[in-house]
Amino acid sequence: MRLLSVGRSNPHSFFLINLSPSLNFNNMQTSSRLLKWLISGPPLLFLLIFFVAPSLIMVFTSFRLPGEFGGLAPINILPGEVADDSGLTIETYQFFFSDFIYTEIFLKSFAVATFTTLICIAMAYPLALLIARSRKKFRNLMIMLVVLPFASNFLVRIYAWMIILGPESGLSHFINGILVFFGIAPVTLLFSPFAVLIGMVYVHLPFMILPLYTNLEKHDPILLDAAQDLGANSWQRFWYVTWPQSLAGIFSGSALVFIPVLGMFAIPDILGGTGDIMIGNLIKDQFLGTRDWPFGSTLSIMLTLAVLSTAGLFSWFARTRNPV
């Protein structure tokens, strides 16, 4: 009755009462959008400043000419200037595609990254499976042991491998003693592709273990029990139940290993020899050694395109294997 009386005294009041929930809902939507922008704004601004802007600078630098004493030549875009003297050129890209040695270095880097990823998968999967299926009171201890190497400096750990793989180390004497016993010539472990591969696996192995463990921990053990009730043996339960569910973790770990290894330069510099240069070493030498910034920027762009293509490939494989 009171609503009707209000409606008689003011015909628009009834509509105002009914529209007030929609107005509140619109205000809530506006507040929600504002909150989303406030939350996502700082990360987007960070990416814009520290990723997009340097990438654009790098692209622009790749079209510049090197300076007489390194760095960049000045840009002279004035009326009547000849185009070749403007300071802008595609010479670095022509030089990159004209010499096969740079493609060879790229292929070598891809090969090292691929072998490192495969070795990390083979070593990390059993350990991640062991951690995921162990008792809860031991899991935290095992995870702590996995991430414990990060407590020390990266370079200190790599220099430690120089001592381990050195010609006077116990490991070198042991391996060369076995080789000599079978009539094979001794080998040098340090400053070799083997040392680079060992260093790469050692540094990036935790990045494969952690995504695999996170994935394997979420598996429902009821599926394994059901497969066992249907007569599946241990290998069949692993191959048809555990392995397909863990592919997402494998793809995530592979991306976290493959992409950093592709641009790594510190490990080949310390543990590798003169013939073990990778694309990361070449880029570093162009900026710090020869000071050819335009060509270094060109190499960086090519590496970035390779990394983005690899990341897209891993993402596509993950979606095809896990369409949900």
Angstrom distances, CA of residue 80 to CA of 76, 85, 221, 236: 11, 11, 77, 76
At residue 15, the pLDDT reads 45
> Can you give the pLDDT at residue 3?
45
What pLDDT score was predicted for residue 25? 57
CA atoms of 120 and 193, how far apart (whole Å): 17
* Half-sphere exposure at residue 251, Cβ-oriented, CA atoms within 13 angstroms: 19
Q: Are 209 and 183 in contact (CB under 8 A)?
A: no
CA distance 281 to 265: 5
Domain ranges of the chain: 2-62, 99-321
- Per-residue pLDDT at 2: 42
In the beta sheet, which residues pair with residue 64?
88
DSSP label of 246: T
The CATH number assigned to the domain with range 99-321 reads 1.10.3720.10
pLDDT of 258: 92
Give pTM, 2 decimals: 0.80
**CB burial class (10 A; 0-12, 13-18, 19+) of residue 123?**
middle
Q: How far apart are CA 93 and CA 172, in angstroms?
A: 44
pLDDT of residue 26: 65
Q: How many CB atoms lie within 10 A of CB 213?
A: 23
C-alpha 33/C-alpha 266 separation (Å) is 44
Residue 78: predicted pLDDT: 53
Give pLDDT, residue 20: 54
Q: Is 70 helix (H, G, I), strand (E, B) or coil?
A: strand
If you count DSSP H runs as helices and E runs as strands, how many of each does the chain have, helices first?
Answer: 16, 0
End-to-end CA distance of the chain: 54
CA dist., res. 276 & res. 117, Å (int): 18
pLDDT at 324: 46
Compute the distance between CA of residue 320 and CA of residue 261 in angstroms, rounded to an integer: 25
Phi, psi of 66 (to 5 degrees): -70, 150
Q: Nearest Cα to 260, choosing from 201, 313, 319?
A: 201
Q: How far is CA 238 from the centre of its chain?
A: 28
Which residue(s) pair with 72 in the sheet?
Answer: 66
H helix or E strand, kind and range, residue 22? helix 13-47
Segments in the chain below pLDDT 70: 1-29, 76-87, 318, 321-324
Confidence (pLDDT) at 72: 80
